[in-house]
Structure 1
């Protein structure tokens, strides 16, 4: 179960190693917030819980127009860590060096703490923190999201239902759940999958599941969305991707969709390179 939750991010390490082989050493963090210099700060606290922390990476020569990419790790809403997203963070820093990056942790769900709305509240707190400190950080209020697995679900849901100020310019879902009322979920016979779904309540109402589903929260105003899924994923039925694609199409929302037919909850090799090429182009065009 734990292996299934963390499979995808491990696979990014190969791509990072290939693309960063000639990269120079990372700059040392500096104490000043001089916008002409690179700055990073790790484990910034935004709440009392030990998981309420994020890492901040600010590029050199940033301005009030510098855009922010928020990274949201997976782990079935109940596990995982922002460190899982470091390979993606490193790719962003190398290939899109003018972006500010925020790599977040959020409170993890358990039998006493449901993921929704708790994890939405955490993301909202982080976005508000960035807005309140935009002058000090020298960044804009324009943001994008990249999420994997459960983190992709959270990224989509916040972008579609909680972005009151229309700050999100693009969102990426990599193997993210989109519709908790999908018959492929409600009628599944996979105990590992059911264990994850039960975090939303063993007898959760349809209304509640729809409220927590990006598929049901998408509107004509939803931001440009790029989706990646594996055709052999044991946790994310193919319909989670194809139905989200069709919903965005019906709403007229700008989107891209890629299904790797033989991939599971992650992929390697040419498929992984294809993911990064498409995602990088999408960020350049929409963020």
Structure 2
């Protein structure tokens, strides 16, 4: 079955390529289906939605064409422009998800069940997806629509990641001021149980073969969520390939589908 797609849909009223998204959906659906919003990684400084068509289409096929997948862009940090730092990436992610929930005209919208939205983030994208969910006080007013967050290879504790590899300061200092390291870490924010997010299910995944992010980022964060009082936490540490390789692994696509339809 041919998967339909539309590209470069603006989610903010400007012409920036960083404020656009791609959407993939089955050609025929007898009913409305959940929406998966994929947030790419790249250390907050690289990555583009165009790189993840295979991932989006793989998830839809694994679901037997029962999902719509949106892949978003957001502003990226660089050494020459300090204006794009935290929380710029986070606010863009929130804007894209808000658009997908509230806009009535984007392609495929007619089959999206906007009450069943799932965020799937990789690496820095997992950081953004989980942080958005744990910080409803930042102004995301549609938390009731977010049913689940799945992070793979995620960065949840910035200070601890720097202790693991001090060379990572090259990209972390580009995206965050030192005074933000703790508060911008999902691990830190998970210390506060937010009423608006208690219903959200979390799945935290790290491949045992991830060469860039240690599994303790995932295990520590999952433990923090449990100890704080979030009710539905799944932790998976298994061989899904390397840090980026795991995204194109059919086993990962199956895990996403099982999470959504659990």
TM-score bucket of the superposed structures, by smaller chain: 0.7 to 0.9
- Alignment partners' CA distance in 1, 2:152 and 2:51: 14
* C-alpha displacement of 1:133: 1.9
Cα pair distance change 1:58/1:87, threshold 3 Å? closer
Match for residue 45 of structure 1?
Answer: 10
Q: Aligned in 2, Cα 1:100/1:273: closer, same or farther, shift over 3 Å?
A: closer
Quickly say closer, same or farther: Cα 1:55–1:273, change in 2 above 3 A.
Answer: closer
1:165-244 matches, cutoff 5 A: 165=142, 166-182=144-160, 185-191=161-167, 193-201=168-176, 204-205=178-179, 208-218=180-190, 219=193, 221=198, 223-231=200-208, 233-244=210-221
Cα distance in 2 between the residues matched to 1:57 and 1:273: 17
Shift, 1:224, TM fit: 0.9
Partner of 2:83: 113
User: Does the 8 Å contact 2:25/2:60 carry over to 1?
Assistant: no
Please say which of residues 167-176 and 231-240 is displaced more in the overlay.
231-240
Pairing partner for 1:246 from 220, 223, 228: 223
- Bigger Rg, structure 1 or 2: 1
Moved more, 258-267 or 78-87: 258-267
Distance 1:258 1:134, change over 3 A: same
Is the strand fraction higher in 1 or 2? 2
Unaligned runs of 5+ in 2: none
User: Using a 3 Å threshold, how does the CA distance of structure 1 residues 77 and 222 change in structure 2: closer, same or farther?
Assistant: farther
| TM-score, scaled to structure 1 | 0.74
1:103 aligns with 2:103: no
Alignment of 1:123-134 (within 5 A): 123-134=93-104
Answer whether contact 2:121 2:127 (CA < 8 A) is retained. Answer: yes
Name whichever of 115-124 and 253-262 sits farther off. Answer: 253-262
Q: Which residue in the other structure is 1:143 paired with?
A: 117
1:195 CA displacement = 1.0
The alignment yields a C-alpha RMSD, in angstroms, of: 2.7
**TM value normalised by structure 2:** 0.80
Measure the CA separation in 1 of the matches of 2:254 and 2:24: 22
Asked if 2 retains the 8 angstrom alpha-carbon contact of 1:74 and 1:80, the reply is yes
Is 1:93 the equivalent of 2:60?
yes
Shift of 1:190: 4.1
Separation (CA, whole Å) in 2 of partners of 1:201 and 1:159:
19
Compared CA separation, residues 150 and 222, structure 1 to 2 (3 A): farther
- Which digits, 9 at most, give the CA deviation of each residue in 1:99-127, with x for residues without a partner? 22211111111132344211111122222
CA contact (8 A) 1:228 1:275 kept: no
How many residue pairs match? The answer is 241
Q: Show the counterpart of 2:261.
A: 284
